[in-house]
Amino acid sequence: MGSLFPLLKLKLKISFIMNELIKYLKSINCTNIVFLLSLLATTGNAKLRELQTTRLMSTSGTGIASILTNESAVLNPASIYFFNASNIYYQKGSSSIEEKSSLRELDGDAEHQMLVITDTTSQLKGSFSFQTQEQGKQDRKRITSSASTNLGKNASFGVLYRYTEEDVDGHRVYHQGIFGLTYMYNERLSFGAILADPFLANKEDTRLAGGVQFSIAQNFIAMADIGVNYTDSPETQNFVRAAVQAQFFRDLFLKYGQYKDKIDKLEGVSWGLSWIGPRISFEYALKESRALETTELLFEDEEVQEQSFAISMVF
């Protein structure tokens, strides 16, 4: 009988602890419980940022309506049609989290590289690119190929194919398409539109977006983009971004941009400097973003700084 008393005492202690725990849990607001569970389930390290060219990084991603070449490999494949010079482009960049949450386990630093080759020698103009991204044990390799042709005198249509192989929460391979339109109303005003991943190979990447670019003065350009992820609550899953570009002397360009992305839950600013020569060009960009709320990528209020350097040569 004496051996039963310790067991009885232990059982009473366990019952007391369980009752007190239940009382405590009942006193906690359900919203707080959900929030705490979401923090435990969210690592802030389970996704790679979408890669942009140095030029796009300097304008906070703005450029759907801009007449660009290398960006046909990542954004709007249509605008390259209005160029007659082919080139080879290389960029290297990195990102780091400046204001880290106390909940973060990994540093979140990342690196990327991109090689783009454009061909504008035929009626069907396009680009080819190879892109790599690394963040800790996560990595992504992407190959793209684009083609663009005219739709009349002032308009063009383009298609971009993306092959992606990544190791982010497991190994995955997927194929995506981006359709683009560019319309040049005149030398000062242009419009653009894109439909990204309409077949939902990766639902998070689906976008329907449009943009406008206007030359306010001879050496000053303003541009803006707006878009949605129409597959899931487009009234809240949207983004807006805007930028300006000023030209100094003949070859020097300064860019500044701002954006707010409710899809990726980020907002930020950027700036960039580029020297565009007759045969060779150099570009540098710096972009700073803040997390609007906790996501797979960042914890709320964390700040990330991205920078990139690029060189291109006409051939």
Q: What is residue 100's predicted lDDT score, i.e. its pLDDT?
A: 80
Query: What class, spelled out in words, does domain 56-314 have in CATH?
Result: mainly beta
Tokens 């005003």, residue located: 189
Give me the residue label for tokens 């310790």: 6
DSSP secondary structure code for residue 299 in this structure = -
171-193 residue pLDDT tens: 999 999 999 999 999 999 999 99
Spell out the domain ranges in the chain.
Answer: 56-314
Confidence of residue 11 (pLDDT cuts 50, 70, 90): very low
Cα–Cα dist 135/94, whole Å: 10
- Best CA proximity match to 201, nearest among 162, 227, 168: 162
Residue 83 sits at the vertex; the CA angle it makes with 78 and 85, to the nearest 5 degrees, is: 135
Kindly give the pairing relationship between strand 266-276 and strand 171-184. unpaired
Residue 163, pLDDT above cutoff 50: yes
pLDDT in tens, 251-303: 999 999 999 999 999 999 999 999 999 999 999 999 999 999 988 888 898 99
pLDDT in tens, 72-94: 999 999 999 999 889 999 999 99
Cα–Cα distance measured from residue 277 to residue 166, given in angstroms and rounded to the nearest whole number: 36
pTM score: 0.83
Tallying the residues shown for the chain, one arrives at 315
Helix, strand, coil shares of the chain, percent, nearest 5, are 15, 50, 35
Check residues 239 and 98 and name the one with the higher pLDDT.
Answer: 239
Quick check: 80 and 120 in contact, CB under 8 A?
A: yes
